[in-house]
């Protein structure tokens, strides 16, 4: 879901930060007069959010195809090498997709109870440290292909390996085997600067840099195995989104208490206050990642057709723009929070299906298996991530995204003794 909630400068709290799109109302928070955004400021904020949402979907989809091909050709990353098991994409099966809304709901309600029982200050301190680490690793992974092109050929790029094993002789097993180079260290250093900036200031630009990195990594590395699985996932989260926004106050309560870069924000008072603006329009990462992985699947389907066209990718991409625009329009018309997936899911699924019907490729589209066609050796998603529009589920989903950044438990491998 998306949200555009105006908060006073002294109270920069997020109301339903991940999953609702609100209007320019006149509600007063903490007895402080609410800032009323100008039409220009509102248009700039919404336009910027739409643009920022499209960037990780477009480039994440392209990178999902590239990393799939690289995996198929022998685990070579498109720029710096898929040298680590943690960098390989995760495949979401129909069973995983069916469990998504249930696990997400349990996580959301668990966080709701957690915030009710424990001190919000200490919980958010732990969350800040947790997302600092994940954000630095995610941003570093996102920057790596770009930096590989920026650095000159004469740059002294040394190779390093972090290796931990257990046991001896024939029973020796790898616990950690991570390879990196000097360019990766430079990316990590730059990302750490952004991380410290976010940790100390919670600035909205630093928040957006982390949010964009999380979203791009999610679209790139979470792969649906077929279109049917995508329909199950989007359909389940459609119901989940509508229920938790319209049916209860759980999501609003959690979002008000949850401080983490799991949303993209843009100030509606930027023209008046510059970079110190504090009245934000917001879009949750769940409204980017969930439709994004389905759009990425359709791009891989386009590639599998070998027709040098991207019909299904562009149709679903345009459908996403339409759905997001419709969300904003309805929010302003009815002056009420809207679950964005209520509009995004029918658009992103319906448009490509209609195109397939006209082209006579509907059966071919639903019989396409991404895990076989594009990524034959893709591992199944055994550590279940709950990616959705809520802060609870996005916090859990970062564990899956962190597999792309070396943060998760890597694959163990038995070492064969070598003769001297």
Helix (H, G, I), strand (E, B) or coil at 175: strand
Q: Which of 54, 393, 336 is nearest to 216 (CA)?
A: 54
Instruction: Judge whether 296 lies within some domain.
Output: yes
pLDDT of 16 reads 40
Q: What gap in Å lies between CA 115 and CA 120, rounded to an integer?
A: 6
Instruction: Judge whether 4 lies within some domain.
Output: no
Asked whether 405 and 140 are in contact (CB, 8 A), the reply is: yes
What total of structural domains would you count in the chain? 1
Pairing of strands 222-224, 90-92: parallel
Instruction: Judge whether 160 lies within some domain.
Output: no
Q: What gap in Å lies between CA 315 and CA 294, rounded to an integer?
A: 12
pLDDT of 192 reads 95
- DSSP assignments along 71-102, one per residue: HHHHS--SSS---SGGGS-EEEPHHHHHHHHH
pLDDT per position in the chain (420 positions), as tens?
A: 554 443 333 333 333 434 444 444 333 333 334 567 788 888 999 999 999 999 999 999 999 998 766 555 544 444 444 445 556 788 899 999 999 999 999 999 998 898 888 888 888 888 889 999 999 999 999 998 888 788 887 888 888 888 888 888 778 888 877 788 888 899 999 999 999 999 998 899 999 999 999 999 999 999 999 999 999 999 999 999 889 888 888 887 787 777 889 889 899 889 888 888 888 888 889 999 999 999 999 999 999 998 888 999 999 999 999 999 999 898 878 877 778 899 999 999 999 999 999 999 999 999 998 754 433 333 444 343 333 344 434 444 444 444 443 444 444 444 444 444
Pairing of strands 173-181, 159-166: antiparallel
- Taking residue 391's Cβ as centre, other Cβ atoms within 10 Å add up to 30
The HSE-up count of residue 291 (CA atoms within 13 Å, CB side) is: 36
Tokens representing 319 are 């459908």
Asked whether 69 and 386 are in contact (CB, 8 A), the reply is: no
- What's the predicted TM-score (pTM) here? 0.77
Instruction: Judge whether 198 lies within some domain.
Output: yes
Instruction: Judge whether 131 lies within some domain.
Output: yes
Instruction: Name every residue whose Cβ is closer than 8 Å to that of residue 74 and which is 6 or more positions away in sequence.
Output: none
Active site residues: 241, 287
Helix (H) or strand (E) holding 224: strand 222-224
Instruction: Judge whether 297 lies within some domain.
Output: yes
Backbone φ, ψ for residue 410 (5° rounding): -75, 170
Domain, as residue range, for 366: 39-148+185-372
Q: What gap in Å lies between CA 311 and CA 126, rounded to an integer?
A: 45
Beta strands in 228-315 (DSSP E): 263-267, 280-284
Instruction: Judge whether 164 lies within some domain.
Output: no
Instruction: Judge whether 96 lies within some domain.
Output: yes
Q: What gap in Å lies between CA 222 and CA 296, rounded to an integer?
A: 9
Angle between helices 39-74 and 311-334 in degrees, nearest 10: 150
Q: What gap in Å lies between CA 114 and CA 416, rounded to an integer?
A: 46
């Amino acid at each position: 879901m998306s949200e555009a909630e105006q908060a006073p400068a002294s109270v920069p709290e997020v109301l339903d930060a991940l999953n609702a799109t609100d209007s320019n109302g006149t509600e007063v928070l903490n007895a402080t007069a609410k800032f009323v955004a100008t039409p220009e400021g509102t248009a700039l904020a919404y336009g910027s959010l739409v643009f920022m949402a499209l960037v990780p979907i477009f480039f994440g989809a392209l990178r999902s195809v590239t990393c799939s091909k690289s995996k198929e050709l022998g685990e070579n990353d498109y720029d710096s090498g898929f040298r680590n098991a943690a960098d390989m994409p995760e495949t979401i099966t129909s069973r995983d997709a069916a469990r998504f809304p249930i696990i997400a709901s349990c996580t959301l309600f668990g966080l709701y109870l957690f915030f009710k029982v424990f001190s919000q200050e200490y919980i958010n301190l732990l969350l800040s440290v947790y997302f600092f680490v994940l954000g630095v690793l995610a941003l570093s992974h996102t920057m790596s292909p770009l930096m590989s092109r920026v650095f000159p050929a004469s740059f002294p790029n040394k190779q390093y390996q972090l290796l931990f094993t257990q046991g001896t002789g024939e029973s020796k097993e790898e616990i950690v085997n991570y390879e990196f180079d000097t360019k990766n260290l430079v990316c990590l250093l730059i990302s750490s600067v952004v991380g410290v900036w976010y940790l100390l200031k919670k600035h909205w630009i630093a928040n957006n840099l982390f949010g964009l990195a999380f979203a791009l990594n999610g679209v790139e590395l979470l792969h649906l195995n077929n279109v049917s699985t995508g329909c199950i996932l989007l359909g389940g989260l459609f119901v989940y989104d509508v229920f938790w926004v319209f049916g209860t106050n759980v999501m609003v309560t959690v979002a008000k208490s949850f401080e983490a870069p799991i949303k993209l924000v843009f100030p509606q008072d930027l023209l008046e206050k510059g970079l110190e603006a504090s009245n934000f329009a917001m879009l949750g990462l769940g409204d980017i990642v969930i439709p994004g992985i389905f759009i990425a699947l359709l791009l891989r389907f386009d590639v599998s057709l070998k027709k040098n066209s991207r019909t299904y990718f562009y149709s679903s991409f345009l459908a996403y723009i339409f759905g997001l625009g419709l969300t904003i329009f309805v929010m302003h018309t009815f002056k009420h929070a809207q679950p964005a997936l209520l509009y995004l899911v029918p658009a992103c699924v319906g448009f490509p299906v209609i195109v397939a019907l006209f082209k006579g490729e509907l059966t071919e589209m639903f019989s396409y298996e991404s895990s076989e066609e594009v990524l034959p050796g893709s591992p199944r998603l055994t550590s279940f991530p709950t990616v959705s529009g809520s802060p609870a589920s996005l916090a859990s989903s970062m564990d899956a995204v962190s597999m792309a950044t070396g943060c998760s438990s890597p694959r163990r491998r038995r070492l064969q003794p070598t003769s001297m």
